[in-house]
Structure 1
Amino acid sequence: MAAKLEGGAYLSSFVDAVLEKLSPILEDDDFVLEENDSALELLGRLERSLYDVGSVLDDAELKQFSDKKVKKWLVDLQDALYKADDLLDELSTKAATATQRDPDQLQHKSLRELYVEACDSLKLLPLGDFPNLKKLMISKCQSMECVVVPQALPSLQYLSISECPSLVSLPALTLTVPQLEELHICDCPEINCFAEEFLPPSLKTLEVTKCQKLASWITSKGLQSEGLTHLWLGPCFDVKSFPREGCLPASLQALKLSNFPNLETLDCKGLHHLTSLKSLAITDCEKLENITEEHLLPSIEHIYIGEDCPLRWKLARRDGRPMV
């Protein structure tokens, strides 16, 4: 921690960054703290203190090497800035998810897109009344464990959740996002299942990448989603044969399997169930060399199999069709 203090520019830029987050809160008459005068007064005092601190940082930087008290003051200041930064992140999130507000003030009734990013201290994300929200993206929330949707988001069509290593559960999608069309879940290693057996019938595109537990659950339990057309899945380390019959919805038009390092056999019984499949892509499956039947589905128009996959060359020699 002290090593950072030897560069005064670090603390100065940190103070400026906290002030940038704080100023809009104090200037917004409709902010979530509008009825809490004591909290607003404390934030006002914080702003004045930060301006005062900024004016003496350069002098303190020079004195820290000869005066231990000044150096300790800088260390304490840095800790306080970290806490203030986390607090402002939480306040901003609460403002975005407030539910008991006049729609003409916060205007959450007309909100179309919402981005939640890098709220490291946030463990629970409560989503309020957003009847017209169409796109929601959540990323890099290191401590977030669950997303709570107390009432449905009836207009949501696009949901992306990425780089949330502590996230363990999702809400029941069919009930909470009945019009969802695209779902992207990436790098959330602790999610191990969907909350319900059937996904929303409106869902067209599903991406599950860098979510080993969830990918394993899908390959073992199967997907029940009658309208799904595009699926991207991987990595998955414990599968030797895929897909089994009935594992994937018959509506699939495009399937991409990526990084199945122990996959040995492509099961055509499962593929022949996918009568609408037009595109098949398989990458990073270096052990895949077997296929359970002589021919792939005639409906498949585009096939790509990675060069590290022995099955690529076997099919090319047998069928005479390019694998790109």
Structure 2
Amino acid sequence: MSTVTRKRYLIAAVALGLATAAISVSAATADPSGAPTPRALNGVGSDTVQGVENALANAITDGSGTKLLGSWDATGSATITTVPGNAACTITRPNGSNAGRNALENSLQANDGCLQYARSSSLNLTSAAPVPLTYVPFAIDAVTYAVTSGSNVPRQLALTDVKAIYHCDPNYVGTAPNYSLKVLLPQAGSGTRSFWESTVGITDADVVAGKYACISDKFNGQPIEEHDGRVLDNNSIAPFSIAQYIAQSSNTITDHRGQAVLGTIDGLTPTVENGNFGVTREVYNVIPTSKVGDPQYASVFVGPSSKVCTNVTILNQYGFATDPNCGSTASHT
């Protein structure tokens, strides 16, 4: 199919217009429970990697069998308390990679001992952190677009087509104010949002400023949580982590796919071998640079023999591919 034919097909198909059904969006929590309280290393942030991090937190122990990681979910109660008895450690629950990083920075600046690391599904080295941070990769994910099983959007697109959609090209999405295609992004602060924006060649500043008027990050007036296919109708499109899709489809984590199915980009079908997919990314644990050599941090996060990197079975169970750079400390603010 030529690019022109594909454009005509897409805009004609989405013009059929199917109504959106009301959906109640919720999320389950799996915050740390059981001894010890608190954990030695408490982390917050990315929704994309919280499931695999929760599993790692239950598996990783020190020499005496004591659990080391406390991984707090991105959604749930409004606040969390990472260290009972310390008022400073009751904070607004950070939702997303940027929120997790910011919470970690705040804790490190205050030296309150509330947070020791953050989960991130994107690399953010654009500005120096108040406290130097190191992004330690631990697995590979891939991201594609999701549509419904009965979508009017083609299930196979070139990356150039996906970019055109997210640039609100009228040949693909129709014209204002009633766009034929609903172009969706997850909530502000999401690592998947920033990664997808980079992939399709747009900036968050332009999105926020309304340059791309066909794009929305709201569903029924509420922010869209990443990897929640229940916000999709037959005329919408959204980015979706392949690892998340795999883990949800096997009920390894809560299934929020709804009618979502994954699209194929440039002829590469998204499968469990997501490390070979065209649009890949590393996912990270963000730690204070000053702690890279600390024995406890290093044993968990740093180097290919670290506890995170050697738990390959868990990484694969949650849909992630192994990362040859696992444990590297090369990326830092």
Task: Give the TM-score category using the shorter length.
Answer: under 0.3
Q: Whose RCO is larger (CA < 8 A, sep 6+)?
A: 2
Give the TM-score of the pair, scaled to structure 2.
Answer: 0.19
- When Rg is computed on C-alpha atoms for both structures, the one with the higher figure is 1
> Greater share of helix residues, 1 or 2?
1
Give the TM-score of the pair, scaled to structure 1.
Answer: 0.20
